[in-house]
Structure 1
Amino acid sequence: MIRKEVENNRSNKEVKLDVDLVVAGGGLSGVCAAVVAARQGQKVVLIQDRPVLGGNASSEVRLWALGATSHMGNNNRWSREGGLINEILLDNLKRNKEGNALIFDTILLEKVLEEKNIKLLLNTAVYEVRKSGDRVIESVRAFCSQNSTGYTVSAPFFCDASGDGIVSFLAGASFRMGAEKAEEFDEGFAPNIEDYGDLLGHSLYFYTKDTGKPVTFTAPSFAIKNASELPRIKNYKFQQHGCKLWWVEYGGRLDTIHESEDIKMELWKVVYGIWDHVKNSGEYPEAENLTLEWVGTVPGKRESRRFNGDYMLSQKDIVEQRDHYDRVLFGGWAMDLHPADGIYSKHNSCSQWHGKGVYSIPYRCLYSRDMDNLFLAGRIISASHVAFGSTRIMLTCAMTGQVAGMASRLCKENNWTARQLSEENNIGFLQLELNKAGQSIPRLKWNDEEDLAQKATVKASSGLDLKRMEENGEWQTLEFSVAQLLPLKANTEYAFKLKVRAKRDCVLETKMRISDSPKHFTPERTLQTLNIPLVKGEQNVDLVFDQLGLEEDRYAYLTFMNNPDVELVLTEERISGILTVQQKINKDVSNYGKQEPPEGLGLDAFEFWTPERRPGGKNLALSITPGLDKFQAGNSINCEIRPLPDGEPNAWVAAQGDLSPELTLSWSQPQEIKRLRLFFDPDFDHALECNQMGHPESEIPFVVSDYKVLDCGGNVIYEKKGNYQAINDIELESAVTTDSVRIILSQKHKHISVSLFKVSVYRK
């Protein structure tokens, strides 16, 4: 029994913590910042003001995490984010391919709790910042409502991933809130503030379930009574729930920070009013057996403060794919703005305009220009309102966290401020470490001098020379134009043979198309067109492209224009760096087959060519002369870990039928080896939405599951079974001295050739 007499001076428990990095905010950006820093040996405190991690991706909000792949609805081929966030998504796929938001909570929590260098404070809110000078944060004060404990946390560096930027705000860092006028950054897409508004609102979701018997619903008195008059009620479809209800949005005319609770209350009124309309208006008789299973209590917030760095990203950076000297990550979601009136607006639910390819984000956007030791991560980074419309997406935000986590270690080790790391003589250290961890910084050539593989001679038991993909008896009608995306060589004449079936005599129109720029995959230029007469029935077709005039290596689109009277035969074979795309519509991301912006917006017009989700999206069965031989062993040490528009698949792919291929690295002198890193193909073209969407497999079939590593004497120094991760970081129990390393891989999928993007070898 505890008994205390009356005291005049009572206070809550106080705890002081002293670490290397304080991360405020436990969304995906904060989780990535904390875990990356912890894995670099930094002591980290992660402060999250909610009971779960994940922010908008958590079970409290239940928004799927997306990024540059944009639901596979744009031209950003092989663009899913890499590094830690890809590791998280692959873990989630393995254990949660159905997309249960509760399970995703556990994936994130496990990832943090497994790091002994992280102290996690849930239900803990930062409320005070203490500084040791105008430009230096010394500590933050936070309070946990669940254990009545106050925390003072000191560190040499701080990462603000809190969404509203509470640390940056209290520290006095300069910020913006709302839209800029078009003239400030020469942004044609900048909104008319008076009409459209200058802030994006919050959204609140609900889930339903079918009980198998009629369920009545009586609306609470606070529910709106006029849901049938809402401009956006037309968006509702039977049994639509979860984040497909993103259009249930409100609050862009209010203070999205200090009036956030008022916004939530209005959204509750709207949600229950919508459900009252669905259940009781008589317009949805099919909803008779449906009941509400879950209604969000925390709205998903899109926009509030954006803090000023030494550079502010703007529309032209995205549209022109500008490459900054200090680029550290990429984005690729559309510039996606929403009318401030949300559910009550007369405007379309959103305005999305895509770029032709991924764009880079400079490190100078990821620290406060006013503070020496404050990194910015998530949606608060330095960007104009228009550019923010793209960078705010969660997987892009996660990559900013990876940057902050890595940067904090480099700054501490070298006694640099956050700004000093941005200097041209220093930024390369950060870029190298990020790329080694899988960041794939666009168009940045990197060389790791510590990687012994860079000095090795490499050979393989086989290398793919793609001459034929065998048919499987399945046919695809040219309801939409279809293209086989292939890595071609310059100044080469190509011939193709394939089987087609025509319902009547007609003409098959084929084109070879490429992008105008090696920066993206958007097909803009037709090199040659062939019109092939067909007769009714099944026949073989020869395509000879002898006038391509291709002056440099490039991915090219072997295109078959839509013709519902023609069918093409497909193959089961899947190959790293090879895929098909179609000119289809994806309204969810404003893809209507072609982007045609009004004049004056400063945006590009172009066609969309997008892949189908697995198990769809099969390749075309065809013969290729000469064969495509860009899949040889040398790719495994070329420092690229995904296919790029310049015509390089960047993967070593074993020959078709080589089910247990070997890759050998050898040196003229014995080397002491302690660590290896293998980069497998996680199908970067597939959007791995973390919840609700669901996926057909629990593992990416391109990833090699079983392999062995042997030394020069044939001794197995490492063996892995059941791998599903893209990056395997292998630390040997003890160092091995050898003049060669042999990797024997096996593939359990009959129609998928073994592939490997990269192997690295280190002394320590």
Structure 2
Amino acid sequence: MKNELEFDVVVAGGGPAGINAAIAAGRGGARTLLIERYGFLGGMSTVALVYPWMTFHTETGRQVIKGIAQEIVERLIAIDGSPGHLRDTVGFTNTVTPYHPEKYKLLALEMLEEAGVEVLVHSFADSVKVVGGTIKNIRLVTKSGPIRVKAKQFIDSTGDADIAFLSGAPCLKGRENDQKTQPLTMKFRMRGVDVSKVKEAMKRNPENFYKKTPINELDELPLTGVQGFYKEWNASGVPINRDQVLFFIGPEEDEVLVNCTRVQGLDGTDVFDLTKGEREGRKQVMMMAEFLQTTIPGFEKASISAVGSQIGIRETRRISGEYSLTIEDVITGIKYDDTIALSGYPIDIHDPTGKGVQANDIEGDGSYGIPYRCLIPKGIDNLLVAGRCISTTHEALATTRLTPSCMATGQAAGTAAALSLAEGIAPRNLDAIMLRKKLLEGGAVLQ
């Protein structure tokens, strides 16, 4: 057995950010390894059933996330793994992108192989060796014993900033005043749903649904998501601390993904809290399914078809980087000289302690820029971060955490790692103009 490996770039975490980072690094000529703790890729999209992808567009419908992320969507369309970008019938965003998780798992492996990336699953980093501000290696815990992996550049796309934290880079968690994070959610799927009955219920009683729901267009649009049934929920007495029912249609036409459980007050980086969360989340799944079956039109013959392999995590650690994106940056739609990705997803904070959700729209052209500096942790020279754990405030994380945004920062991190190697410099010293040029060549949208 090999107990030591060496690569140019090592990407820790095989979720949407890590997949895109590894593809970008591999295409950039770097010998790249992608490490994933589960036996399959996809991160929260597959492990926790986070569905659909929201959103590649601004509120007006302009697509601001393309590049590798759009390539993935197009290749899924080609294998009947996604219908592409569809109108969001909840009305919270302009579009959502349904996808088939099993086809996504396989497609990701194919694209990584095409890019020359090696993949190692069932592997979990538990320590990082740092000398003089440079990561020398990370140690993996595996079924076949510990493995040390050396690299010139590392990318942390673990979602929880595991590599940054273990390396000693400064990290933050949750709200500034009390460190409480957005709640955990155990998502689940139900089959046997009569979607036509759901749609008719919406048309009969529009005020029972989210204020931006395009009720008048439902006859022309495929139903992609539903937020509401406020009257039924408020009368239910179900002991889940939220204020509405939320579910999304697909991937099959009689199938829905239910996003209604809410587990609060736990730390997603604490194994004892995670243990509590898994139990509480699964209890809430059963309560929620019974409520839907007995109360909501169209669910009379529905049954649970899948529950997340683990509870979904919205927020844990994030790095304190060279710059921290703020809620003001997002709302005003500011762009930067070192913007490496755009996003059109609004602020979406699930209250860490209460029932509600704080939502704020983006002004200007409906998009904001994510600076390259948000990907650079303080104190470590050969580490970049992508995905949910980039440098933001608690409030701004409520938009950067969404999957398409994570895909975009992943592509940026992988591209930057490969460029830094080619230039023989630390990522923090990389010329942002050069990076942006390379990203534009890779299909990214930056203005």
Q: Please give the range of the TM-score, normalised by the shorter of the 2 chains.
A: 0.7 to 0.9
1:256-271 correspondence to structure 2 within 5 Å: 256-258=268-270, 259-271=273-285
SS in structure 2 at match of 1:369:
coil
Partner of residue 188 from structure 2, selected from 202, 206, 210:
206
**Alignment-derived partner of residue 105 in structure 2:** 105
Deviation at 1:46, TM superposition (A): 0.4
Deviation at 1:142, TM superposition (A): 0.7
In 2, Cα distance between the equivalents of 1:285 and 1:333? 30
1:256-335 correspondence to structure 2 within 5 Å: 256-258=268-270, 259-279=273-293, 282-283=294-295, 287-335=299-347
In 2, Cα distance between the equivalents of 1:178 and 1:234? 24
Letter in 2 for 1:25: G
**Alignment-derived partner of residue 213 in structure 2:** none
Cα displacement string for residues 629-654 of structure 1 (whole angstroms, at most 9, x for unaligned residues): xxxxxxxxxxxxxxxxxxxxxxxxxx
In 2, Cα distance between the equivalents of 1:385 and 1:238? 26
Answer yes or no: is 1:121 the counterpart of 2:100: no
**Alignment-derived partner of residue 138 in structure 2:** 140
Cα displacement string for residues 451-509 of structure 1 (whole angstroms, at most 9, x for unaligned residues): xxxxxxxxxxxxxxxxxxxxxxxxxxxxxxxxxxxxxxxxxxxxxxxxxxxxxxxxxxx
Cα displacement string for residues 407-457 of structure 1 (whole angstroms, at most 9, x for unaligned residues): 112211222112111xxxx22111111111111211xxxxxxxxxxxxxxx
1:154-553 correspondence to structure 2 within 5 Å: 154-180=150-176, 198-210=180-192, 228-230=238-240, 232=242, 235=245, 244-251=257-264, 253-258=265-270, 259-279=273-293, 282-283=294-295, 287-341=299-353, 345=354, 347-348=355-356, 350-356=357-363, 357-421=366-430, 426-442=431-447
SS in structure 2 at match of 1:32:
helix
Q: Given that residues 14 and 43 in structure 2 are in contact (C-alpha distance below 8 angstroms), is that contact kept between their aligned partners in structure 1?
A: yes
Specify which structure has the bigger relative contact order, considering alpha-carbon pairs within 8 angstroms and separated by 6 or more residues: 2
SS in structure 2 at match of 1:156:
strand
In 2, Cα distance between the equivalents of 1:440 and 1:206? 33
Answer yes or no: is 1:130 the counterpart of 2:129: yes
Answer yes or no: is 1:50 the counterpart of 2:38: yes
Q: Given that residues 62 and 243 in structure 1 are in contact (C-alpha distance below 8 angstroms), is that contact kept between their aligned partners in structure 2?
A: no
Q: Given that residues 48 and 186 in structure 2 are in contact (C-alpha distance below 8 angstroms), is that contact kept between their aligned partners in structure 1?
A: no
SS in structure 1 at match of 2:33:
strand
Q: Given that residues 321 and 375 in structure 2 are in contact (C-alpha distance below 8 angstroms), is that contact kept between their aligned partners in structure 1?
A: yes
SS in structure 2 at match of 1:300:
coil
In 2, Cα distance between the equivalents of 1:206 and 1:170? 32
Deviation at 1:161, TM superposition (A): 0.2
Q: Given that residues 247 and 260 in structure 2 are in contact (C-alpha distance below 8 angstroms), is that contact kept between their aligned partners in structure 1?
A: no
Q: Count the aligned residue pairs.
A: 383
**Alignment-derived partner of residue 150 in structure 1:** 146
Label 1:81 to 1:238 Cα distance change in 2 as closer, same or farther (>3 A).
Answer: closer
Label 1:308 to 1:283 Cα distance change in 2 as closer, same or farther (>3 A).
Answer: closer
Deviation at 1:211, TM superposition (A): 10
Structure 1 or 2: more helix by fraction = 2
Q: Given that residues 62 and 242 in structure 1 are in contact (C-alpha distance below 8 angstroms), is that contact kept between their aligned partners in structure 2?
A: no
Unaligned residue ranges in structure 1 (runs of 5+): 1-12, 182-192, 213-225, 443-764
Label 1:231 to 1:250 Cα distance change in 2 as closer, same or farther (>3 A).
Answer: closer
In 1, Cα distance between the equivalents of 2:32 and 2:268? 29
Structure 1 or 2: more strand by fraction = 1
Label 1:227 to 1:100 Cα distance change in 2 as closer, same or farther (>3 A).
Answer: farther
Answer yes or no: is 1:16 the counterpart of 2:4: yes
**Alignment-derived partner of residue 744 in structure 1:** none
In 1, Cα distance between the equivalents of 2:261 and 2:292? 14
Deviation at 1:138, TM superposition (A): 0.4
Q: Given that residues 238 and 284 in structure 1 are in contact (C-alpha distance below 8 angstroms), is that contact kept between their aligned partners in structure 2?
A: no
Q: Given that residues 227 and 277 in structure 1 are in contact (C-alpha distance below 8 angstroms), is that contact kept between their aligned partners in structure 2?
A: no
In 1, Cα distance between the equivalents of 2:359 and 2:318? 20
SS in structure 2 at match of 1:21:
strand
In 1, Cα distance between the equivalents of 2:261 and 2:20? 29
Deviation at 1:329, TM superposition (A): 1.3
Letter in 1 for 2:262: E
Cα displacement string for residues 368-417 of structure 1 (whole angstroms, at most 9, x for unaligned residues): 11100110100111111111111111111111111111111221122211
Please tell me the root mean square deviation across aligned C-alpha atoms, in Å.
2.5
SS in structure 1 at match of 2:427:
coil
**Alignment-derived partner of residue 67 in structure 1:** 55
**Alignment-derived partner of residue 210 in structure 2:** none
Deviation at 1:300, TM superposition (A): 1.7
Label 1:127 to 1:334 Cα distance change in 2 as closer, same or farther (>3 A).
Answer: same
In 2, Cα distance between the equivalents of 1:242 and 1:167? 37
Q: Which has the larger radius of gyration?
A: 1
Label 1:208 to 1:370 Cα distance change in 2 as closer, same or farther (>3 A).
Answer: same
Label 1:273 to 1:319 Cα distance change in 2 as closer, same or farther (>3 A).
Answer: closer
Q: Given that residues 175 and 308 in structure 1 are in contact (C-alpha distance below 8 angstroms), is that contact kept between their aligned partners in structure 2?
A: yes
In 1, Cα distance between the equivalents of 2:248 and 2:44? 24
Label 1:243 to 1:208 Cα distance change in 2 as closer, same or farther (>3 A).
Answer: closer
In 2, Cα distance between the equivalents of 1:57 and 1:34? 17
Label 1:238 to 1:406 Cα distance change in 2 as closer, same or farther (>3 A).
Answer: closer
Letter in 2 for 1:206: F
Q: Given that residues 187 and 260 in structure 2 are in contact (C-alpha distance below 8 angstroms), is that contact kept between their aligned partners in structure 1?
A: no
**Alignment-derived partner of residue 5 in structure 1:** none
Label 1:20 to 1:267 Cα distance change in 2 as closer, same or farther (>3 A).
Answer: same
In 1, Cα distance between the equivalents of 2:380 and 2:247? 48
Deviation at 1:132, TM superposition (A): 2.3
Q: Given that residues 22 and 46 in structure 1 are in contact (C-alpha distance below 8 angstroms), is that contact kept between their aligned partners in structure 2?
A: yes
Q: Given that residues 247 and 258 in structure 2 are in contact (C-alpha distance below 8 angstroms), is that contact kept between their aligned partners in structure 1?
A: no
Cα displacement string for residues 289-331 of structure 1 (whole angstroms, at most 9, x for unaligned residues): 3322212221221100010111111122122222322121112
Deviation at 1:227, TM superposition (A): 5.9
Q: Given that residues 331 and 360 in structure 2 are in contact (C-alpha distance below 8 angstroms), is that contact kept between their aligned partners in structure 1?
A: no
In 2, Cα distance between the equivalents of 1:115 and 1:238? 33
Q: Determine what percentage of the aligned residue pairs are the same residue.
A: 26
SS in structure 1 at match of 2:238:
helix
In 2, Cα distance between the equivalents of 1:15 and 1:390? 39
Deviation at 1:257, TM superposition (A): 1.2
In 1, Cα distance between the equivalents of 2:248 and 2:313? 26
Q: Given that residues 130 and 137 in structure 1 are in contact (C-alpha distance below 8 angstroms), is that contact kept between their aligned partners in structure 2?
A: yes
Q: Given that residues 56 and 63 in structure 1 are in contact (C-alpha distance below 8 angstroms), is that contact kept between their aligned partners in structure 2?
A: no
**Alignment-derived partner of residue 84 in structure 1:** 68
Label 1:314 to 1:242 Cα distance change in 2 as closer, same or farther (>3 A).
Answer: farther
In 2, Cα distance between the equivalents of 1:163 and 1:272? 28
Deviation at 1:246, TM superposition (A): 2.2
SS in structure 1 at match of 2:370:
strand
Q: Given that residues 124 and 144 in structure 1 are in contact (C-alpha distance below 8 angstroms), is that contact kept between their aligned partners in structure 2?
A: yes
SS in structure 2 at match of 1:31:
helix
SS in structure 2 at match of 1:298:
coil
In 2, Cα distance between the equivalents of 1:150 and 1:416? 30
Deviation at 1:360, TM superposition (A): 1.0
Deviation at 1:61, TM superposition (A): 2.1
In 2, Cα distance between the equivalents of 1:360 and 1:67? 15
Deviation at 1:160, TM superposition (A): 0.2
Letter in 2 for 1:174: P
In 2, Cα distance between the equivalents of 1:238 and 1:384? 28
Cα displacement string for residues 730-754 of structure 1 (whole angstroms, at most 9, x for unaligned residues): xxxxxxxxxxxxxxxxxxxxxxxxx
In 1, Cα distance between the equivalents of 2:329 and 2:243? 36
Letter in 2 for 1:18: E
Letter in 2 for 1:61: L
Label 1:243 to 1:308 Cα distance change in 2 as closer, same or farther (>3 A).
Answer: farther
SS in structure 2 at match of 1:419:
helix
1:581-620 correspondence to structure 2 within 5 Å: none
